[in-house]
């Protein structure tokens, strides 16, 4: 159904509005400012076409009746459906309604005249629905209706039509199957998990309980099995213990028999054992007495020996005392003699030293005299050299001469000057005047110089002048002639200036050498001066070097040194004379040298003698008092060392030590004598020893008489060993019995363990089977559920592809963020938007309001288009749409509307054309090419009450 | 009458409680059959060659019931019992506790604790018992009999009673109480009654006479022909585990032995005394009529005393699978002995091609089916297992929904 026109009177604020000849497709924009009555028009169209019969008393209808007037609303809508044009006219608040059809002749034919018939028929023609149901639910948008219908409210007839056009999404069998699967699946799970993840098992579901129970039962079984294993070990041990016990009992019996036999043997040997024991005791006593007597005899012999040794040592010590005393006296005498000789030698050394000093003084005086004579010779020569040097310097000063560099510079200067001069001469203009004899002398002004009369030369030769730039010739009585050079005059000036500079430099360069600049031989003279200078300078240098050698610190210093030496010599000559007299010889250098050598030998001999004396004194001191260091070290090594045994000890110390030893030996001898006096006499001791020997012999004879056999000797040990062995065996047997009884006690408590073990294992296995069975069922249902969802997605994708493609294309046109796909639900409505990277899934409701409105409108248009055909196009009525869109998107949405209105026959299924009627207060938003704009504010279109 | 390996108080774990109880109870019922048989055949005495109990820690109830069965009125003769490796003579074990304690005088029961000859009162018979004290041992339990050779002119029939493995195979564990294979002849025994192996076995001696025999267990405890994986959870204490010699044949047996006089060859007859019959069957359902099969199982004889393990395989359609899950499973679980089970994991469910689209439609479910069929062919066993199960669920739900 599409609208062709409408007439509305007395509807809400509208007095009258009349619109006709609406195009069958494309965009129709009915616009007017706020309050014009646009929404009222839409309400009128809805009421007339679908919602209310003319006589309806509905409050919803009544609210559109004029508030201040008695006129009844009248609405007439012309529309096209089923290949015909129809006009439904209703006067609300009355029974007056009619439905007419336009005939081929162009006249309206009344089809239904009653209100009910007309209403029902018109409803059928436009879709048999109210204006908010059927396809109108999608395409008749109220003001501010930005969202799509809720899936559960989406008209099932439309879904059915869409299924017919787009294909089957989900069959009733699918629905039932999914419901069954979901129901079963929910036994185990609460919510679906993300793809690839296993859903979480529902707490307290049967399987979960079974798993918990299985865990408990397994633990219980494990405990029982552990106990069973321990019992098995105990049982095995009990078997081992049986063997051990049997063996121990056999051992016990054998050992008991052995012990009894030994006991009998022991009792039989008891009297002989006692007799033997008594004899043995007597032998032990006799041996002890004998030992005591022998010890006494040995002790006395030892004391006597010690006494003898002490007395002999005392005698030796006395001899030592005497000997060391004598040696000490001799040594002390030798010491005195040595010290006397040493003092004499020392006195001689002092005498020799004095003589040596006097000889040294004489030798010094002779040296001073020689030095003074040398200095005087040097002074004389130096004074002569000074005179020669002064003469040479004077000559050099009088004949200044240039050096080689100056000569070279001057030669270069002259060479350049000659060159410049030659250039000037070559470029010069020679002005030659040859006046007649008697003629007045001409006046010449050459190169800017003032006029000068040029008188003719006396020889009558012509007057010649060199002109460089300009020459003026004034000839009295005749006039003036002028000669000028061209542009080269400036170069000649420069050459001339250079020449002047060269001449000036040359003059300055030779000024110091007494040569005039104009002298043509000036350079040669200078070269000669330079040659003379080269000859004079080495001589001057040689004289100066000689002077420096003779008097390095000057002549005055040399004279001062000579004066000082003269003073020293005079002072020394008075002492030297006395010493020469004392020596009785004439003092010359050779004598002095010979004398000095002899004196030196005497001193050395004296020094050697002094050293010998000192060493002898030291050795004797050591002999008398000992080497303190050696004595200390020796003492440290062995405090008890005999003093005379060490050579380090002096004679004095040896004498003292010998005296001490003598006293010590005497004291020892006295002590031993005292001990001997307290002991028995030797004879008495010998008698006691003999008696003890006799007693021991007697006792041994008695012991031999009571001697025991080998068996009697070992019976006691053998019996003890047998008893110990038996005791040990009984101990081990008791231990084995005890362990055996312990095992028996523990195993006795295990009665029924076998059944418990079986029951626990049965429970665990049953639970295992149950869990396995149910897990398989759970996994199978989970797989079915998952696969169903997956397949449903694919099915939806296949069915909804035309819609999705179209909407996605429009979304890209409008520049809605980059989505890869749209996931539709089984009600043909979008659920989620999938991002291009497939990682983000966004519920449509999570998008911005503007985007939701735009996508919702696109989906409405896309779905509506597939239900529209060329033969039976569909109208979309949009009341104030896209109010949440920004200007840019709104601008692009116009393209979407245009595209949707045109339809697309190239798609499968084809998208039919839409008649899109937009009510808006912003006509510029929808002003497309080809759009029909109807201004409701125009009086000829609409008038308000 | 020679019996062995009663394993009272049997420890089995792979059944639910009721089945365990039923199987345990059957072992006592089989003793009653043994007693009846003894009475009927008027035997002189009964020999129990070890392992009367499954363990030396069995409950008081089990030990008392066993005692009562052999000591009570129904028993017509003495019962000579030796401890085996499952119930060895361990201190504090079942033999040290009431009612088996040694200080109690008994009328029929003769618990032979020591390896010493025992004369049977009123008969020219000497029994040479070989009780065990350990689970495992490298000693031959009959070795001691060699020190008691038959005396010349001794008219007594010499009967050995032992528990262990007759050393017939080189692979037997060395600590499994190995008994020399010529023990009967070497020890001068007319008959050597053995226990330990769970199926009957007669061993011919060098004199070509069968003087040595295992009676087998009196009541089965395994599905015959099934490996350890399908066992009951019971295990021997031998180091080679559940070896073939511990597999019974699904039926309980004892031996009726007759010996006329000393030196005479024994006549040995195997008699069935078991209560339950253990059966393991495998069926391929492909091209088999399910209805007939269900009827067969529903009407099988003696099913209450049959412990059935039915394993199904093959390909069925969803409807048949539903019937297996409901009808057949119901029959196996309710009409057979508790513990009977149906295993249909290997059954593949595949609707007929013409039914397939009708079954799952052309919506999402058809896509799901395609994916599951792919996963069912996966090499990943976990994925395949879940996919197979999911497929079965899908078919079942779809079938049920379609049927509504």
Q: What pLDDT digit, counting tens, does each position of B359-373 carry?
A: 888 788 888 998 998
Locate the chain A residue with the closest alpha carbon to B62: A752
CA distance B48 to A755: 22
- Peptide bond just before B99 cis, omega within 30 deg: yes
**Which H helix or E strand runs over A176?**
helix A172-185
Q: What is the mean pLDDT of each run of 10 residues along chain A (945 residues)?
A: 94 92 92 90 93 91 86 93 94 92 93 92 87 90 89 87 78 87 92 79 91 95 95 92 93 95 91 88 91 89 90 89 86 85 85 82 81 87 87 81 86 87 79 77 82 72 78 81 70 82 88 81 84 83 87 86 84 62 60 83 88 87 75 49 52 85 88 86 87 90 87 91 96 95 93 92 91 94 91 82 89 85 86 79 86 93 91 92 87 89 87 93 82 89 84
The residue among A238, A166, A100 whose CA lies nearest residue A802 is A166
pLDDT at B230: 56
pLDDT at A594: 84
State whether residue A781 sits within 8 Å of chain B by CB. Answer: yes
B397/A755 CB distance under 8 A: no
More confident residue, B308 or A164: B308
Backbone phi and psi for residue A776, each to the nearest 5 degrees, phi listed first: -65, -40
B15 to chain A: which residues are within 8 Å by CB? 762
State whether residue B390 sits within 8 Å of chain A by CB. Answer: yes
Helices (H), B307-403: 318-323, 329-335, 353-360, 364-376, 381-403
Residues in chain A: 945
Residue B40 has pLDDT above 60, yes or no: yes
CB B24 within 8 A of CB B10: yes
Give the dihedral sign, CA B132/B134/B135/B140: negative
Alpha carbon of B116: minimum distance to chain A alpha carbons (Å): 16
Structure tokens at A90: 């209703």
Longest Cα separation, chain A:
210
- Peptide bond just before A312 cis, omega within 30 deg: no
State whether residue A741 sits within 8 Å of chain B by CB. Answer: yes
pLDDT at A642: 47
A752/B58 CB distance under 8 A: yes
pLDDT at B127: 98
Q: Assign B400 to helix, strand or coil.
A: helix
A788 to chain B: which residues are within 8 Å by CB? 364-365, 368
State whether residue B30 sits within 8 Å of chain A by CB. Answer: no
Looking at the partner chain, which of B11, B367, B397 has a beta carbon nearest the beta carbon of A754? B11
The residue among A3, A10, A26, A5 whose CA lies nearest residue A932 is A26
Query: For residue A867, what are the CA distances in angstroms to A121, A152, A165, A893, A941?
Result: 21, 20, 8, 21, 32
Locate the chain B residue with the closest alpha carbon to A777: B389
**Which H helix or E strand runs over A916?**
strand A914-920
The residue among A804, A807, A913 whose CA lies nearest residue A857 is A807
Backbone phi and psi for residue B217, each to the nearest 5 degrees, phi listed first: -75, 150
pLDDT at A844: 85
B90/A235 CB distance under 8 A: yes
* DSSP states along A102-120: E-TTS-EEEEE-SHHHHHH
pLDDT at A641: 43
Backbone phi and psi for residue A446, each to the nearest 5 degrees, phi listed first: -110, 130
What single DSSP character describes residue B172? S
CA distance B2 to B269: 10
Q: What is the per-residue pLDDT across A40-95, written as a single tens digit (0 to 9) for each?
A: 999 999 999 999 999 998 999 999 998 877 888 999 999 999 999 999 999 999 98
State whether residue B365 sits within 8 Å of chain A by CB. Answer: yes
ipTM above 0.85, yes or no: yes
Strand order, beta sheet including A97-102: A108-112, A97-102, A84-91, A74-81, A2-11, A14-19, A942-944
pLDDT at B138: 93
CA distance A564 to A575: 18
Query: For residue A650, what are the CA distances in angstroms to A28, A246, A313, A644?
Result: 153, 94, 22, 9
pLDDT at A575: 59
């Amino acid at each position: 159904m599409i609208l062709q026109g409408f007439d509305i009177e007395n509807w809400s604020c509208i007095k009258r509005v009349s619109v006709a000849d609406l195009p069958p497709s494309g965009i129709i924009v009915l616009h007017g400012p706020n309050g014009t009555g646009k929404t009222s028009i839409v309400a009128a169209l809805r009421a007339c076409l679908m919602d209310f019969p003319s006589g309806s008393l509905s409050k919803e209808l009544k609210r559109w009746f004029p508030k201040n007037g008695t006129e009844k609303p009248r609405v007439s809508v012309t529309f096209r459906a089923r290949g015909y044009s129809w006009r439904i006219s209703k006067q609300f608040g009355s029974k007056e309604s009619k439905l007419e059809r336009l005939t081929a002749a162009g006249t309206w034919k009344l089809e239904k005249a009653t209100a009910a018939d007309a209403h029902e028929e018109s409803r059928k023609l436009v879709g048999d629905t109210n204006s908010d149901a059927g396809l109108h639910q999608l395409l008749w948008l109220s003001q501010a209706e930005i969202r799509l219908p809720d899936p559960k409210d989406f008209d099932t007839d439309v879904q059915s039509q869409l299924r017919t056009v787009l294909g089957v999404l989900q069959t009733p069998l699918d629905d039932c199957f999914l419901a069954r699967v979901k129901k079963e699946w929910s036994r185990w799970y609460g919510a679906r998990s993300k793809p690839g993840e296993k859903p979480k098992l529902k707490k307290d579901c049967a399987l979960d309980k079974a798993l918990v129970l299985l865990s408990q039962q397994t633990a219980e079984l494990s405990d029982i099995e552990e106990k069973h294993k321990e019992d098995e070990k105990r049982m095995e041990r009990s078997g081992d213990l049986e063997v051990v016990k049997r063996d121990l009992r056999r051992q016990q019996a054998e050992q008991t028999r052995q012990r009894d036999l030994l006991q009998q043997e022991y009792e039989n040997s008891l009297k002989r054992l006692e007799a033997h024991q008594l004899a043995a005791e007597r032998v032990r006593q006799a041996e002890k007495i004998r030992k005591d007597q022998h010890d006494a005899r040995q002790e006395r012999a030892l004391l006597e020996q010690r006494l003898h040794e002490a007395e002999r040592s005392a005698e030796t010590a006395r001899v030592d005392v005497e000997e060391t005393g004598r040696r000490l006296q001799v040594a002390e005498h030798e010491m005195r003699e040595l010290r006397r000789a040493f003092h004499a030698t020392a006195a001689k050394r002092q005498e020799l030293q004095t003589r040596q000093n006097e000889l040294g003084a004489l030798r010094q005086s002779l040296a001073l005299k020689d030095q003074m004579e040398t200095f005087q010779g040097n002074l004389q020569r130096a004074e002569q050299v000074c005179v020669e040097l002064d003469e040479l310097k004077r000559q050099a000063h009088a004949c200044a001469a240039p050096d080689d560099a100056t000569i070279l510079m001057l030669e270069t200067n002259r060479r350049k000057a000659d060159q410049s001069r030659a250039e000037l001469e070559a470029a010069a203009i020679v002005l030659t005047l040859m006046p007649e004899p008697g003629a007045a002398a001409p006046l010449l002004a050459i190169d800017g110089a003032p006029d000068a009369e040029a008188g003719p030369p006396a020889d009558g030769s012509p007057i010649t002048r060199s002109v460089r730039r300009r020459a003026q010739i004034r000839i009295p009585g005749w006039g003036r002639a002028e000669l000028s050079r061209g542009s080269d005059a400036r170069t000649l000036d420069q050459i001339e200036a250079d020449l002047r500079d060269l001449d000036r430099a040359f003059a300055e360069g030779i000024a110091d050498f007494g040569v005039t600049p104009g002298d043509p031989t000036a350079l040669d003279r200078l070269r000669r001066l330079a040659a003379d200078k080269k000859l004079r300078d080495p001589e001057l240098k040689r004289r100066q070097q000689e002077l420096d050698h003779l008097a390095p610190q000057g002549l005055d210093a040399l004279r001062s040194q000579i004066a000082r030496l003269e003073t020293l010599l005079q002072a020394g000559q008075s002492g030297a004379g006395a010493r020469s007299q004392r020596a009785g010889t004439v003092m010359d250098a050779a004598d002095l040298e010979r004398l000095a050598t002899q004196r030196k030998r005497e001193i050395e001999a004296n020094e050697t003698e002094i050293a010998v004396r000192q060493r002898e004194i030291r050795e004797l001191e050591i002999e008398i008092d000992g080497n303190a260091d050696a004595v200390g070290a020796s003492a440290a090594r062995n405090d008890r060392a005999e003093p005379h045994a060490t050579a380090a000890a002096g004679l004095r110390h040896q004498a003292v030590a010998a005296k001490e030893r003598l006293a010590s030996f005497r004291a020892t001898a006295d002590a031993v004598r005292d001990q001997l006096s307290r002991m028995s006499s030797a004879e008495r001791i010998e008698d006691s020893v003999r008696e003890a020997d006799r007693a021991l012999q007697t006792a041994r004879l008695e012991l031999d008489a009571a001697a025991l056999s080998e068996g009697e000797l070992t019976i006691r040990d053998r019996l003890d060993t047998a008893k110990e062995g038996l005791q040990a065996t009984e101990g081990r047997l008791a231990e084995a019995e005890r362990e055996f009884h312990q095992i028996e006690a523990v195993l006795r408590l295990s009665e029924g363990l076998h059944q418990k073990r079986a029951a626990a294992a049965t429970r665990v296995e049953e639970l295992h089977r149950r869990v396995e069975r149910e897990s398989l069922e759970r996994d199978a249902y989970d797989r079915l559920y998952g696969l169903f969802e997956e397949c449903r997605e694919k099915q939806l994708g296949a069915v909804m592809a035309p819609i999705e493609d179209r909407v996605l294309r429009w979304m890209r046109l409008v520049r809605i963020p980059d989505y890869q796909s749209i996931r539709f639900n089984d009600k043909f409505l979008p659920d989620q938007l999938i991002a291009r990277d497939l990682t983000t899934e966004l519920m449509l409701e999570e998008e911005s309001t503007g985007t939701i409105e735009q996508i919702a409108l696109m989906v409405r248009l896309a779905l509506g288009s597939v239900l529209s055909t060329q033969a039976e196009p569909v109208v979309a009525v949009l009341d104030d749409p896209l109010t949440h869109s920004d200007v840019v998107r709104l601008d692009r949405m116009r393209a979407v509307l245009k595209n949707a209105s045109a339809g697309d026959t190239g798609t499968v299924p084809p998208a039919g054309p839409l008649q899109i009627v937009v009510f808006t207060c912003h006509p510029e938003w929808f002003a497309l090419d080809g759009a029909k704009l109807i201004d409701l504010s125009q009086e000829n279109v609409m008038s308000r009450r | 009458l020679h019996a062995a390996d009663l394993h009272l108080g049997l420890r089995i774990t792979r059944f639910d409680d009721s089945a365990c109880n039923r199987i345990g109870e059957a072992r006592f019922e089989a003793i009653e059959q043994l007693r009846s048989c003894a009475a009927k055949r008027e035997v002189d005495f009964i020999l129990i060659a070890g392992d009367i109990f499954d363990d030396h820690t069995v409950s008081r109830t089990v030990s008392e019931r066993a005692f009562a069965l052999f000591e009570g009125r129904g028993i017509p003769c003495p019962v000579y019992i030796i401890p085996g490796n499952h119930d060895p003579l361990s201190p504090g074990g079942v033999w040290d506790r009431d009612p088996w304690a040694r200080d109690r005088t008994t009328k029929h029961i003769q618990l032979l604790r020591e390896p010493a000859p025992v004369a049977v009162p009123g008969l020219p018979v000497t029994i040479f018992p070989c009780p065990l004290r350990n689970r495992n041992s490298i000693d031959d339990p009959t070795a001691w009999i060699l020190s008691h050779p038959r005396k010349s002119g001794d008219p007594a029939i010499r009967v050995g009673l032992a528990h262990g493995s007759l050393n017939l195979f080189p692979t037997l564990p060395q600590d499994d109480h190995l008994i020399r294979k010529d023990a009967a002849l070497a020890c001068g025994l007319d008959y050597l009654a053995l226990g330990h192996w769970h199926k009957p076995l007669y061993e011919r001696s060098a004199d070509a006479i069968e003087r040595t025999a295992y009676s087998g267990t009196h009541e089965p405890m395994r599905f015959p022909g099934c490996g350890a994986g399908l066992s009951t959870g019971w295990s021997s204490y031998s180091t080679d585990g559940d070896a073939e010699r511990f597999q019974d044949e699904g039926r309980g047996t004892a031996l009726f032995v007759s010996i006329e006089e000393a030196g005479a060859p024994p006549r040995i007859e195997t008699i069935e005394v078991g209560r339950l019959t253990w059966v393991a069957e495998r069926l391929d359902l492909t091209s088999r009529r399910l209805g007939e099969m269900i009827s067969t199982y529903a009407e099988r004889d003696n099913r209450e005393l049959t412990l059935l393990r039915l394993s199904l395989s093959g390909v069925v359609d969803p409807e048949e699978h539903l019937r297996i899950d409901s009808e057949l499973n119901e029959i196996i679980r309710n009409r057979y002995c508790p513990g009977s089970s149906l295993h249909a994991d290997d059954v593949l469910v595949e609707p007929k091609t013409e039914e397939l689209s009708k079954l799952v439609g052309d919506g999402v479910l058809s896509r799901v089916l395609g994916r599951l069929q792919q996963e069912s062919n996966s090499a990943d066993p976990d994925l395949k297992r879940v996919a197979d199960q999911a497929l079965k669920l899908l078919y079942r739900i779809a079938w049920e929904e379609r049927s509504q």
